[in-house]
Chain A
């Protein structure tokens, strides 16, 4: 076949260009340590790579969620632990004081008051900005003498009493602590009497002492309650302010886990019993007091067991989260391996390829130099 110099030059150009393109590509693979530089290099691998990356991202998020869930359960666990200690102590007091004297009972009453205050503050624990045991009302303490009004809509003032009362006064206070309204016997619509043992609810229309509508917001109140027949004061206790909403977390695709405990379930009965116990301890009539005190022994045991129950529910959920966490750990490692298989370049292979390509390139250049230079012109005189 007739070969002209132009043909040889064109061919050499093309070969050199093809080889330098391959060299460039290999160099990019080595620099980035990724086999797949563009989707077109291997579309199927690219598809797998995107899938693996998404799985890893998903797993990371679920593990994040799990850690937050575990923290919450750990925190709740310590709270329940303390609450159980306190309620066990209260039960012991009730056993002891069933046959106690007036002096011991007075001292015990003070101790019960302290126990009540401590458990209230435990029940109102916050994690970050949110109250743990208020259901969905995470901006409201679970147990407090607290009423919210908005837009002139009448609100309920909820509180509990340890015994029937003959007169009850409620002082409503604003944020600075000054009394804005006092509700007395006469304002009670229900109950018609001064208050009954157990939960009570009074309606307040949001008006202050002079009949003006107070600004929207939350107000605290103080209850003073007496039984004038027995000549004793009636102990009031905080009722539950939250709701029964469930707070769930995502621990897997379509798998949700409830992480909150409703304060009502855990603590309401305990507060009622503790205040009844205190009422009994304070009763100057020892006989009546004994009846009241001994009546609380079994109930306090039951309230103590109730807390134990929610605590163990939390513990088993915590275990479930731990199992998931370790499964995700293993799964993530597997997927990362598979991703690396598809995506990462084997450096040894790539570098060897680079070297052999370099050798080929240099050979081509040397050969080219030898072929294209001489022509007949050099040899004619």
Chain B
């Protein structure tokens, strides 16, 4: 036997559930462009039927859950690609900046400055007592030493800038892990009551994606909905509703190492344990690439200093006194023309014997010939060859980073697209849903009106 009030109930439920469904659709539409949003779906199912004598009679619709459409394996893949993307983007940008410092294509780089320097010595051989030639040699020498200084200090400053970026990122990481821990708490509390914390989960996923770009980690979710995050060699960043912080510490080279603070408050150096993410990119540029460039540049400068000074101190200047050091300094950073020579170009020692002054140009000849000497790479390369291979390597490094970045970018994009395909909001779809639910809502309202008429008829029957 059916129940007329039951009919009303069916109508009431239908209206309310469809209202909920429209609310979920509205939420989707509102969040169509929200970063990291996964579309939600109100799952409408037939309610528990009532057993009556002719058979089971349905009792309407109920919403069993509001489901979040997402693929957790995809999420893991997205994060994994983000590690690589963060690393190669950071590495590419860092190396490109270093490449600009060398400035070779313009023709005004160190290569040209060195060539001009050796040429100026040859000019001196043609007129060893000439004032103009000496002044010119001084100018070209200072030009070259300034180029060395500038490249060296620019690279060092870039290393400092990378340190600043690293410190900033470490702070951001701590921020993110703190928030993830909080969300862990909120999600557990909400889901313990049986409700799905869809929006919180979206927020947490977004935070994890952000974190993935910065540092590589492993994560997994336990049965209570909590996500644990591990970085480096199993260093816990987030577990349950607690987070562990990272910090930085200056190492013996004057740069920042990345430290993990464990439960007892001890600092553990995890710099070598980081394999990917922006932090790795910056560390590679700072500690591997730029260090290598600086070492090679210093090698070049110090060999030049040694060789030129050795010949110069063997010679005699225009006053007939023995030559002093031509260059002061020991590395690319501080190489400079001896200040005494800068003040008095007569101190440039072009002659090999005191008696040979002023016409003897043989010392200047010997120094000019250093250009052809094999002093670099254990006696196999000239100064020019050595510098050439250095600037080639700078170029190749950038080229390689660009290739890796492009590849990683494409991979990341593909995975993002797939995720979007699964979890993204399609406005067309939501429009259809809106129409669908609206029709059902209208029909349900009609049902209620009809039942109302039925009840009125029944009331009339009793009179």
Contact = CB atoms under 8 A, between A and B. Distances in A.
Nearest to B120: A61
Contact of A243 (B129, B355, B368): B355
Given A38-B99, A250-B122, A128 B421 contact: no
A276 to B, nearest CB: 31
Nearest to A51: B388
Interface in A27-43: 34, 36-43
Nearest to A379: B431
A346 interface: no
A256 B425 contact: no
B309 interface: no
Interface in B354-385: 355-362, 365, 368-369, 371-372, 384
Interface in B406-430: 413, 416-417, 420-422, 424-428
B360 A245 contact: yes
Contact of A247 (B116, B361, B391, B435): B361
Contacts of B119: 57-58, 60-61
A72 to B, nearest CB: 9
A14 B409 CA distance: 11
Contacts of B389: 47
A6 B394 CA distance: 39
Contacts of B416: 10
A14 B388 contact: no
A50 B357 CA distance: 37
Contact of B358 (A46, A50, A136): A136
**Residue of B102, B368, B416, B426 most packed against chain A (CB within 10 A):** B426
B126 A50 contact: no
Contacts of A137: 358-359
Given A2-B421, A38-B99, A57 B112 contact: yes
Contacts of A41: 395, 399
B115 interface: yes
Contacts of A10: 413, 416-417, 420
B143 to A, nearest CB: 14
Given A44-B392, A47-B392, A64-B123, A1 B129 contact: no
B356 A136 contact: yes
A175 to B, nearest CB: 20
A3 interface: yes
Contacts of B372: 253-254
Nearest to B423: A4
B355 A376 contact: no
Nearest to A68: B126
A11 B424 CA distance: 14
Nearest to B435: A380
A46 B395 contact: yes
Contacts of A260: 359
B359 A245 contact: yes
A135 interface: yes
A39 B395 contact: yes
B427 A249 contact: no
A89 interface: no
A44 B361 CA distance: 39
A61 to B, nearest CB: 4
B127 interface: yes
Contact of A130 (B127, B356, B392, B421): B127
Interface in B98-145: 99-100, 102, 104-105, 107, 111-112, 115-116, 118-119, 122-123, 125-127, 129-130
Contacts of A51: 384, 388
B313 to A, nearest CB: 20
Nearest to A135: B359
B231 interface: no
Interface residues of A, number: 60
Contacts of A248: 125, 361-362, 365
A5 B426 contact: yes
Contacts of A2: 421-422, 424, 426
Nearest to A139: B358
A375 B427 contact: yes
A260 to B, nearest CB: 8
A40 B96 contact: yes
B389 to A, nearest CB: 7
B417 A46 contact: no
Contacts of A129: 127, 129-130
A1 to B, nearest CB: 6
B351 interface: yes
A1 B421 CA distance: 7
B424 A6 contact: yes
A278 interface: no
A138 B427 CA distance: 93
B368 A250 contact: yes
Contacts of A40: 96, 99, 394-399, 402
B99 A376 contact: no
Contacts of A54: 111, 115, 384
B126 A249 contact: yes
B304 to A, nearest CB: 15
B443 interface: no
Nearest to A61: B119
B111 A53 contact: yes
A85 to B, nearest CB: 28
A53 B112 contact: yes
Contacts of A249: 125-126
A136 B126 contact: no
Nearest to A259: B126
A62 B364 CA distance: 15
A111 B420 CA distance: 111
Nearest to B434: A380
A39 B102 contact: yes
B447 interface: no
B365 A250 contact: yes
Contacts of A168: none
Nearest to A5: B427
A43 B395 contact: yes
Contact of B398 (A7, A39, A246): A39
A265 interface: no
A300 B374 CA distance: 52
A263 to B, nearest CB: 12
Contact of A50 (B351, B391, B397, B435): B391
B159 to A, nearest CB: 20
A11 to B, nearest CB: 8
Nearest to A381: B435
Given A39-B104, A253-B372, A375-B428, 20 more contacts: A3-B421, A4-B427, A5-B426, A6-B32, A11-B417, A36-B105, A40-B99, A43-B393, A43-B399, A47-B392, A54-B115, A68-B126, A128-B130, A129-B130, A136-B358, A139-B358, A248-B365, A249-B125, A249-B126, A376-B432
Interface of B: 32-33, 96, 99-100, 102, 104-105, 107, 111-112, 115-116, 118-119, 122-123, 125-127, 129-130, 351, 353, 355-362, 365, 368-369, 371-372, 384, 388-389, 391-399, 402, 413, 416-417, 420-422, 424-428, 431-432, 435
Which 7 pairs between the two chains have the least Cβ-Cβ distance? A39-B395, A138-B359, A40-B398, A43-B395, A4-B424, A136-B359, A136-B356
11 contacts: A1-B421, A2-B421, A5-B32, A5-B428, A6-B424, A6-B425, A11-B417, A42-B395, A65-B125, A134-B359, A248-B362
